């Protein structure tokens, strides 16, 4: 049960109880996702902190429809670090996936490949014969 701040004080901040419930819910969700608290408070949970922020006038409801991509909620340092670590992990996974795909493409052993000398024309390719087939391969110097 919410005792501090009193419910009467919170109802003055919204046009109806439903609007207040939505406002508290959205702000508490932002806090759980890592948003910076607007007041220095060590509330027991995100809902209590959201109610205290609303009571002090730090958070207000604005009519209109905004997509999540249209606004930015400042995150705490821990939330920013967690997001950065997640991005790095995804990048490393993608890099590993690409390297594995390239390893599957270039699977010929050096002793298996019979490289012949390139013709007098230097077009950037070398003809490599592997198991009786000719395939262009990038020339590396």
Phi, psi of 68 (to 5 degrees): -60, -25
Among residues of the chain, what percentage have pLDDT more than 90? 10
Tell me the whole-structure pTM to 2 decimals: 0.49
Domain 1-73 matching CATH 3.90.940.10: the answer reads yes
Q: What is the pLDDT of residue 33?
A: 87
Residue 88 has pLDDT above 60, yes or no: yes
Which of 28-42, 78-92, 96-110 has the lowest average pLDDT?
Answer: 96-110
Rounded to whole angstroms, how far apart are CA atoms 13 and 57? 8
pLDDT band at 85 (very low <50, low <70, confident <90, very high): very high
How many Å separate Cα 32 from the centre of its chain? 16
Name the residue with higher pLDDT: 138 or 104: 104
């Amino acid at each position: 049960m919410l005792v501090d701040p009193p419910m009467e004080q919170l109802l003055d901040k919204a046009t109806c109880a439903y609007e207040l419930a939505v406002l508290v819910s959205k702000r508490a969700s932002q806090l759980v996702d890592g948003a910076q608290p607007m007041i220095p408070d060590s509330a027991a949970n995100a809902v209590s902190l959201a109610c205290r922020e609303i009571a002090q006038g730090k958070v207000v409801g604005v009519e209109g429809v905004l997509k999540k991509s249209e606004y930015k909620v400042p995150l705490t340092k821990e939330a920013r670090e967690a997001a950065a670590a997640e991005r790095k992990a995804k990048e490393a996974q993608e890099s590993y996936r690409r390297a594995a795909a390239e390893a599957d493409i270039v699977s010929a052993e050096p002793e298996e490949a019979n490289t012949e000398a390139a013709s007098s024309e230097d077009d950037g390719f070398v003809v490599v014969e592997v198991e009786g087939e000719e395939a262009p391969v990038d020339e590396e110097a």
